[in-house]
């Protein structure tokens, strides 16, 4: 029923719904818009393509870095490599490692284990030790709770990558 109001000429009919009804419709439209937005967000999140690509890349490195800078990059690279290995993130391990033709020994075995989803147990670094560089090839001694190994890293295309894992040298 249209609402009426008084004017100088007498009662006048104002078109449209009464103000209370208009407020309810506006509120209903806002609620519907909010629900539609939430549904669209949920569909976008659940329906997104879960790419198998890496979520990180190797750290930038050059042979001209100071020893302190190079050691920090090597240490961080090894720690991130171990973290990604423990988490089973194959694409990230691939991004942090040398290409397959440059992988040797334990490194190849570790990547194959992650690829095959074999649970080989988590590795935790206790401390990193000796660091050496010979051009683009860098080594970092890494000590775990039960063993020590030497990571061999290589600067490839401006990034530092893990290329091998060997037994730590005995002095």
Any idea where the domains of the chain sit in the sequence? Answer: 3-47, 67-167
- In percent, the amount of the chain with pLDDT more than 70 equals 82
Q: What is the pLDDT of residue 146?
A: 80
More confident residue, 18 or 73: 73
Mean pLDDT to the nearest integer, 14-37: 73
The answer to whether residue 26 scores a pLDDT higher than 60 is yes
Residue 96 is predicted with a pLDDT of: 95
Q: How would residue 51 be classed by pLDDT, with cut points 50, 70 and 90? A: low
Residue 160 CA to residue 65 CA, distance in Å, equals 12
- Compute the distance between CA of residue 90 and CA of residue 52 in angstroms, rounded to an integer: 9
pLDDT confidence tier of residue 53, bands split at 50, 70 and 90: confident
Q: Which residues of 10-29 are buried (b: 16+ CB within 10 A; e: fewer)?
A: eeeeeeeeeeeeeeeeeeee
- Position 54 pLDDT exceeds 90: no
pLDDT attached to residue 92: 93
Instruction: Average the pLDDT over 54-74 and give the result.
Output: 93
Cα gap 115→112, rounded to integer Å: 5
When the pLDDT of each residue in the chain is averaged and rounded to a whole number, the result is 83
Residue with the larger pLDDT of the pair 149 and 45: 149
In angstroms, the CA 160 to CA 125 distance is: 19
Q: What pLDDT shows up at residue 150? A: 92
Asked if CATH classification 3.10.450.50 holds for the domain at 67-167, the reply, yes or no, is yes
Of the two residues 149 and 30, the one the predictor is more confident about is 149
User: Model pTM?
Assistant: 0.69
């Amino acid at each position: 029923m249209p609402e009426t109001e008084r004017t100088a000429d007498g009662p006048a009919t104002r078109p449209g719904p009464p103000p209370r009804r208009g407020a309810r419709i506006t509120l209903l439209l806002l609620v519907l818009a909010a629900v539609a937005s939430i549904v669209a967000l949920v569909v976008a999140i659940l329906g997104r393509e879960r790419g198998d690509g890496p979520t990180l890349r190797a750290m930038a490195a050059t042979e001209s870095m100071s020893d302190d800078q190079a050691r920090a990059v090597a240490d961080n690279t090894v720690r991130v490599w171990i973290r990604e290995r423990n988490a089973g993130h194959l694409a990230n391990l691939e991004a942090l490692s040398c290409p397959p033709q440059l992988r040797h020994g334990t490194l190849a075995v570790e990547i194959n284990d992650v690829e095959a989803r074999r649970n080989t147990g988590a590795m935790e670094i206790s401390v990193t030790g000796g660091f050496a560089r010979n051009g683009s090839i860098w080594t970092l001694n890494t000590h775990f709770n039960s063993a020590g190994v030497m990571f061999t890293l290589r600067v490839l295309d401006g990034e530092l990558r893990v290329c091998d894992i060997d037994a730590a040298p005995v002095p």
